[in-house]
Amino acid sequence: MIKRLLAFALLAANPGQAQLQPASVVRTEGGPVGGAPFDGGYVFRGIPFAAPPTGPLRWKPPQPPTPWRSVRASQPQPASCLQNDYGWNRGDVVIGSEDCLTLDVRTPALVGHRPVLVWIHGGSNLAGGPNDIVLSDVGEKVVIVGVRYRLGLFGFLAHRGAAAEAGGHAGNYGLMDQAAALGWVRRNIARFGGDPDQVTIAGESAGAQDVSLMLAAPSTRGLFRRAIVESGTPGFGLPPRPLAEALRLGDQLDAAMGSGGSIDKLRAMSATALLAADRTLHDDALESDDYRFLRVTIDGAYLPDDPAALLARAGQPDVLIGSNRVELNLPGDRPHRDAFVAKATGPRETAARAYYRLDEPDPPVDPRLGERDQIIATDLTFRCPTVHLATLLARRGQRVWHYEFDAAPGGGRTTHAREISYAFGADQYAPGQSLKPYWLNFIMTGDPNGPGLATWPRFDPGAQQHLLFDSGGAHVEGPLRPEACALNARL
């Protein structure tokens, strides 16, 4: 399971929220919302951007919310979208609800035209939530929006009944939720002091995958100007899933629930029973079903083509992209290593086996890259797909900045999601040095460079330079593991 690390403290309920000052009420297109005072500005949590996706709206694109007239107060902790319990996400599980299509806004002031950061959370598209990203002190300078979107089978399952209703298209409802939230930002964020023409979308892990798919999706063009892609790509090195294959997952759900192929019967079933069935869905193309909704479905609507083909003719947003030195272990762990390498490298399998010396005893653990299985998983799932995506975008003339992050307290290995607290929290990768200035400069200007910072060259498809952040500071490096990245060209 791909895990996330973000753990900002929960915002305590403010006893003064019930007596909102007039200046903290904002009239959105749906109705008035009240903000809670926070650090000199305001937070607005739990604003509906779409109708509850329940009952007849299960497995349908997001619909506009019913307008309201009275002020909706900021919630101390809005519901996360419904999800199974994987241990790391228990805090989201206990506040989970199918009625979850809301977003949070933090603004330094309700006047002005500040750049906007829209955060898409990670969690394998199975779990997680934006939690307290809006409380990051990045919000002292920009407007922050945290988005909730449907997860697991509620957000990503393709079913034949749903396809019959939608002209042959099905799946990717969670991605459509994100696009609907971006549309809401475009139409409403100026009322919160944000500039709708200066929107940066950002995400980590599955959130980064979803952000990179927004770069590709025709329906999101013009809704953002910049993108931050942290440890995720359109496919994580996996081939996309044709709709015909995706519909077979829906067939599995029918068999598990005894619904006889009826989407109406599934819509009437309990969410708890459906969540249990979600754990049983299997994709033969994968070595771990934890990745079942990270393998991207070409649904014919939100994604009308292979993401690589869509990216080749998409818009031109600026992109900051990278990965961490040690992301995770092999999907399915050691028993699935040979099959994973074969599927990931295809015709280059023999070369890959030789490169990683798979027929030899395990080598000593690399102090920075980790164990051999971690190296393989990070190369083929994160590091190299990131290089390939940066190359594709830069060849189109897009402005791209590529990084690798390798810093952890006490000199330990840098793991998945570790960069988040350095970019949005107070952690320093070297004395007096944080990712935050680079990220803020990019959000505010479209270029991460600025006074007092190490120069970060734009990514060039030929030189393939990247900026390495480690305990010694920030250093310009050349191509990132080119021998490994020659083994597979998937995004």
Tokens of 214: 């927004």
- Concatenate the DSSP letters of all residues of 450-474 into one string: -TTS---PPP-TTT--EEEEETTEE
Helix (H) or strand (E) holding 401: strand 400-406
Q: Closest by alpha carbon to 238, among 356, 377, 353? A: 377
Q: Closest by alpha carbon to 290, among 206, 221, 209? A: 206
pTM for the predicted model, two decimal places: 0.95
Contact between 162 and 59 (Cβ < 8 Å): yes
Sort strands 143-147 and 102-107 into parallel, antiparallel or unpaired: antiparallel
- Burial-class residue 335 by CB neighbours within 10 Å (0-12, 13-18, 19+): exposed
Provide the residue-wise pLDDT of the chain in tens; the chain has 491 residues. 333 333 332 232 232 333 344 469 999 999 999 999 999 999 999 999 999 999 999 999 999 999 999 999 999 999 999 999 999 999 999 999 999 999 999 999 999 999 999 999 999 999 999 999 999 989 999 999 999 999 999 999 999 999 999 999 999 999 999 999 999 999 999 999 999 999 999 999 999 999 999 999 999 999 999 999 999 999 999 999 999 999 999 999 999 999 999 999 999 999 999 999 999 999 999 999 999 999 999 999 999 999 999 999 999 999 999 999 999 999 999 999 999 999 999 999 999 999 999 999 999 999 999 999 999 999 999 999 999 999 999 999 999 999 999 998 788 899 999 999 999 999 999 999 999 999 999 999 999 999 999 999 999 999 999 999 999 999 999 999 999 999 999 99
CA 335/CA 236 separation, integer angstroms: 20
Helix (H) or strand (E) holding 293: none
Domains, in order of start, for the chain = 28-248+291-485 (3.40.50.1820)
Contact between 449 and 344 (Cβ < 8 Å): no
Running DSSP on this structure, what letter comes out for residue 34? E
Q: pLDDT above 90 covers what percent of the chain?
A: 94
Condensed to tens digits (0 to 9), the pLDDT of residues 143-153 reads 999 999 999 99
Query: Strand, coil or helix: what is 67?
Result: coil
Q: Closest by alpha carbon to 459, among 476, 484, 434, 441? A: 476
